[in-house]
Structure 1
Amino acid sequence: MREGTFTSRLHDPRTAVVIGRWLGAALIVCFVTGLYSHVLQDPPTWLRDHLPTRPAGLYQFTQGLHVGTGIAAIPLLGAKLWTVYPRLFEWPPARSVRHALERLGILLLVASMLLELFTGLLNTLQWYVWPFPFRQTHFWLAWIALGGLLLHLAVKAPEIAAHWRRVRPGLTERRAYLTTVTLSVLAVTAVTAGQSVPWLRRLDLLAPRRPDIGPQGLPVNRTAAAAGTAQTPADWRLQVVGPRPYELTMDQLTALEQHDSDLPIACVEGWSASARWTGVRIRDLVARAGAPSTARLRITSLETDGAYGVTEMESAYARDPLTLLALRVNGEVLHADHGYPARIIAPGRPGVLQTKWVHRIEVIA
Structure 2
Amino acid sequence: MYNIIDLFCGAGGLSLGFELAGFNILAGFDIEPNFLDTYKNSHPNTKGFNVDLNNIDILSFLKNNNIDSKDIDVVIGGPPCQGFSTVGNRMIDDPRNNLVRIYADIVNEIKPKMFLMENVSGLASMKNGQGELIKDELIDIFDEIGYNVKSKVLLAADYGVPQFRKRIFFAGIKKNYNFIFKFPKSTHHDKKSLFSFFENSNSYLTVKDAVSDLPTIECNESAEKYDKEPENDYQKFCRKNSKKLFNHKAPNHSKVVIERIKNIPQGGNHGNLPDDLKLKRGYSNIYGKLDENKPADTITGNCGCASAPGRFLHPTSNRVITVREACRLQSFPDYVEFMGSSSQQYKQVGNAVPPLLAKAIAFEMKKSLSKFE
In terms of fraction of residues, the more helix-rich structure is: 1
TM-score, normalization by structure 1: 0.26
Larger Rg: 1
TM-score, normalization by structure 2: 0.26
